[in-house]
Structure 1
Amino acid sequence: MRFRSPAHSDRVTARIGLALAVTFTLCFVTGLISHLIQHPPSWFGWPSRPVWLYRVTQGTHVLSGIASIPLLLAKLWSVFPKLFERPVLRGLPHALERLSILVLSAAAFFELVTGLFNVAQNYPWTFYFPQLHYAVGWVAIGAILVHVAVKLPVVRRALTTEPEPSRRAFLRTTWLTAGVAVVATAGATVPLLRNVSGLSWRSGKGPQGLPVNRTAAAAGVLDAVRDPNWRLSVVTPNGTKTYSLDQLRSLPQTSAGLPIACVEGWSQSARWSGVSLPELLRHAGSSPGTPVRVFSLEKTGIYGISELPGRHTEDELTLLALELNGEILDADHGFPCRIIAPNRPGVLQTKWVTRLETL
């Protein structure tokens, strides 16, 4: 079988592969950062400043993944004729090369497709997405390194030769398609693009003008947040202090413009007001800089408990928020109070807080 399309060329494949290596590496590194923040080993530390850093890294993670989709499809189309080469296997090294390509293609498709479903918060599977997505990410990046090492001589030759005009047209179409895909979705995390990003998600929707991933009803906390006897417990080595909502409001209040940055890639800034955590710890008889475990009224979710490291509990911009954009928190945003800490994933900004424990 003969293929005459100008796209079927080592020169085209090498250039698309180089772009795909860049986007996939960006996606892997920023995804690894997000995983380490949420599941930190003892050696890992994540700063509280600048407040927008996680917004940038996670937005880059999702957008580089979206850019990788058209690039991967274009690269597979450029090498499509190789499926019909004969003989199918030309010895053990060739067999191993084809097996590595199969692993690479399967892992890349799994990462990009499941990542896209995660952005849409649609989970048509039974496995725990973050864990398997993280594991397959390592498989994909390992397969990319092996593939690049095997194909490096071919890539060098291809990149030193300028493609013909017909092949340049295919490349331009590929770059344009990837660019359009990014611009069409980037408004979810880049405010300046929200008016032109027709496919952006979760930008300004929800009560009080801020998106919501999990509502109070879905979390099963509506009755608990409406209980007039609600109290916040702050547990320190010196004992336990409890605070009513009125008592929290009587403490010195701090306001800060901080973004909510979600693992799905969307982010949005808002004005939060409440008690700074260092102030609350001092009032409760503890010291800022002490790690704190945060407990939510939500009992069924996997993020009902989170931990704030010392670098966040000593930051005056880490708030036990009581208000959002000048209004009392809506139940869906965490009433009676929630954690808002700078440079943290949204899943760790625990809502419906009922207890704080110093560690």
Structure 2
Amino acid sequence: MPRSPSSPAFWRSPLRGPWFTSLLGVVLLVGITVMFVTGLLSYAAYNPNLAAVNDKTPDKGILGFYLFSWPTHPVWLYRLTQGVHVTLGITLIPVLLAKLWSVVPKLFALPPARSLAHAVERLSLLLLVGGALFEFVTGVLNIQLDYIFPGSFYTLHFYGAWVFIAAFVTHAVLRVPMALRNLGGMRRRGAWPEGADTERSGGQHAASPEGAAAVPGSSDTTTDGPGAPSGDRGSAADGPGPVSGSPGGSPGPASDRTGPASDRTSAAPEGPASAAGRPGPSAGTPGPHPGVSGAVPVEPGSLSDRSGPVPGDAGRAPGGGGAVSGGAAGGGGPGASAGAARGEERPRGGQDRVPGQSVPAPAAGEPARPEDELISPDPLPPTVSRRGAIAFVGGGSLLLAATTVGHSFDAPVRETALLAPHGGPEPGSGPGAFQINKTAASRGIDPKETGADAWRLVVAGNGRTVRLSRAQLQELPLHGSALPIACVEGWSTSDQAWRGVRLRDLAKLVGYDTGTAPDVVVESLQRAGAFRVAALRYNQVRDPLSLLALSVNGADLTPDHGYPARIIVPAAPGVLNTKWVSRMTFGAL
């Protein structure tokens, strides 16, 4: 009968497990937190509370609680925050996909809700997966200039981010403690990362210190018996003989002291009982480990050949002798393990496997562990290790980062940004050979409108209106500013040498003192599009680096860079640096 996706046996990859999922989750916890913070900063950079023309989410309500006046310094602030936001988002795509793959069995698990807490977790998981896919897909499409969703990107991305982060926080509160325990537990057991999850996944189970059989002559056994000082490693517990080939009972080479887990945990000692009541090894008896005396080869039918516990037999030697030293907990009688004798608790769920399965049975009376839902009860043979899988995911992330981050720099680094629309060579040559997003032709700018005879800048405010030609603007005091261009898509340029009239000097033309210049609304000649009209806050107007630029890098602006005049403001998003300016209205907003 075909298995359904709701059956744990339907998902057969041996890679899924608590350690793999927990590691990816911790990486996403850090990365998505940084992305969310930089995304909030990006939204604040638009000064949405300043004017309706800047606010693409007028119904945000309490979600705008954190908004503040965006500063103008350092001048590279927006370039940094948005560059990190976009590049990190691209870099995390392989990690996100691997994480979703690792938990996909839980999306189909039945029943849908076992308790109220489980129902909350499942709902948060649904919103988390849906929100993550929506945010990453819309973000990537916007970066690639192929945004196809109905409605404004700013609106959908903003509200989608809050839905996603609410689910993310809920899921993190429920899962982060478990993830940290999983990672910490693997590290303490020495099974990290290659042997991670092997205690509950397919293949050989790693024995815990309490559940491991004492290996005569192994380096894992501490000698407390006669004939050896306390703490001397390398001799059998309570036994008389040193490790073969190691003079004086000192540890021999690692290859002489260790072997497969099945050999260490299931070999049955023979010979006279030790002083502690456990059977001791027979000196000189050949064993499976070279150089180790007293170890006995495992015979078919012995404990290590069984996939699960056998009643009345766990911890017994094949010949019916005493319990194996350090074996499965079997009571407090002679032969009980050292861990049991000390009253130590057996590891939750034990190390025993359900016959025919790879997931261990929980201890009596204990519920199934949530992390075990990720482990296949019938895994396929592994074709790659978990370390290899992590390397594959990490390599994919590094590749995406290396082919994206260059769009925040100039040539030659920009040419490495093969996956970014603003990567590759700089457009054209000369003073205007730096990146642009909107061309004059794409925005319907008619050269006749920008000619010397037709174009006039209208400056209004305080009950006054002034009209200025480009020639008249050039007669005003001109100043220079070295500022970058940074866009919401994550790309940016280095500092360009702009020259023009300070915004606060233009405010002075309509009666405002330069130190008290108010907010300003800037209008463009472009016919349509987001931020055709944009507002700047008073701190941006008063900054001496804020200009109505007429030239860049020693030459007049080109049409694509905003000729005849454009705004350039430090630390502002590119869309607020309005091109093809036609009107400026000063006044408190």
Q: What TM-score bracket applies, with the shorter chain setting the length?
A: over 0.9
Q: 1:272 to 1:6 in 2, by over 3 A?
A: farther
User: Which SS does the other structure have where 1:351 is aligned?
Assistant: coil
User: Which shows bigger deviation, 244-253 or 135-144?
Assistant: 244-253
C-alpha separation in 2, matches of 1:322 and 1:113: 38
Q: Tell me if 1:201 matches 2:412.
A: no
Q: Tell me if 1:285 matches 2:529.
A: no
Q: Tell me if 1:338 matches 2:566.
A: yes
2:182 pairs, out of 141, 151, 158, with: 158
Report if the CA contact (8 A) 2:466-2:509 is conserved: no
- Output the TM-score relative to the length of structure 1: 0.93
Report if the CA contact (8 A) 1:185-1:201 is conserved: no
Q: 1:247 to 1:111 in 2, by over 3 A?
A: same
Aligned to 2:29: 21
User: Which SS does the other structure have where 1:48 is aligned?
Assistant: coil
Aligned to 2:124: 100
User: Which SS does the other structure have where 1:267 is aligned?
Assistant: coil
Q: Tell me if 1:184 matches 2:403.
A: yes
Q: Tell me if 1:171 matches 2:390.
A: yes
1:324 pairs, out of 552, 556, 566, with: 552
Q: Tell me if 1:221 matches 2:445.
A: yes
Letter in 1 for 2:502: S
C-alpha separation in 2, matches of 1:351 and 1:7: 53
User: Which SS does the other structure have where 1:216 is aligned?
Assistant: coil
Over aligned residues, Cα RMSD in angstroms?
2.1
C-alpha separation in 2, matches of 1:86 and 1:40: 45
CA deviations 1:207-261 (Å, max 9, x no partner) are: 8212222222222221322361321121131622221110111112212221110
Letter in 1 for 2:443: A
Q: 1:8 to 1:349 in 2, by over 3 A?
A: same
CA deviations 1:44-80 (Å, max 9, x no partner) are: 1111111100000011110121122111111112223
CA deviations 1:104-139 (Å, max 9, x no partner) are: 000000000110000011122222211011001001
Aligned to 2:434: 210
C-alpha separation in 1, matches of 2:109 and 2:532: 55
C-alpha separation in 1, matches of 2:15 and 2:404: 27
Aligned to 2:18: 10
User: Which SS does the other structure have where 1:219 is aligned?
Assistant: coil
Task: Name the structure where strand makes up a greater proportion of residues.
Answer: 1
C-alpha separation in 2, matches of 1:194 and 1:327: 23
C-alpha separation in 1, matches of 2:417 and 2:68: 35
Report if the CA contact (8 A) 2:488-2:573 is conserved: yes
Matches within 5 A, 1:284-323: 284-288=510-514, 289-323=517-551
Report if the CA contact (8 A) 1:23-1:67 is conserved: no
C-alpha separation in 1, matches of 2:488 and 2:428: 17
Letter in 1 for 2:420: S
Pick the structure with greater CA Rg: 2
C-alpha separation in 2, matches of 1:25 and 1:322: 41
C-alpha separation in 2, matches of 1:34 and 1:228: 39
C-alpha separation in 1, matches of 2:10 and 2:463: 80
2:492 pairs, out of 258, 261, 267, with: 267
Letter in 2 for 1:143: A
CA deviations 1:125-168 (Å, max 9, x no partner) are: 22221101100100111101000111133213112023332323
Letter in 2 for 1:77: W
C-alpha separation in 1, matches of 2:391 and 2:45: 37
C-alpha separation in 2, matches of 1:274 and 1:218: 25
User: Which SS does the other structure have where 1:176 is aligned?
Assistant: helix
C-alpha separation in 1, matches of 2:415 and 2:436: 20
Report if the CA contact (8 A) 1:236-1:357 is conserved: yes
Instruction: Kindly state the Cα deviation for residue 206 of structure 1 after the two structures are TM-superposed.
Output: 6.0
User: Which shows bigger deviation, 187-196 or 32-41?
Assistant: 187-196
1:230 pairs, out of 426, 443, 455, with: 455
Letter in 1 for 2:564: P
C-alpha separation in 2, matches of 1:96 and 1:238: 59
User: Which SS does the other structure have where 2:498 is aligned?
Assistant: strand
Aligned residues: 359
C-alpha separation in 2, matches of 1:229 and 1:146: 59
Task: Name the structure where helix makes up a greater proportion of residues.
Answer: 1
Letter in 1 for 2:476: L
Structure 1 unmatched ranges of 5 or more = none
Aligned to 1:255: 480
Taking CA–CA contacts closer than 8 Å with sequence separation of 6 or more, which of the two structures ends up with the larger relative contact order? 1
Q: Tell me if 1:276 matches 2:502.
A: yes
User: Which SS does the other structure have where 2:481 is aligned?
Assistant: strand
User: Which SS does the other structure have where 2:176 is aligned?
Assistant: helix
User: Which shows bigger deviation, 247-256 or 42-51?
Assistant: 42-51
CA deviations 1:19-44 (Å, max 9, x no partner) are: 11222121111111121222433661
- Output the TM-score relative to the length of structure 2: 0.58
Structure 2 unmatched ranges of 5 or more = 1-8, 51-66, 195-384
Instruction: Kindly state the Cα deviation for residue 281 of structure 1 after the two structures are TM-superposed.
Output: 2.6
C-alpha separation in 2, matches of 1:182 and 1:267: 16
User: Which SS does the other structure have where 1:228 is aligned?
Assistant: coil
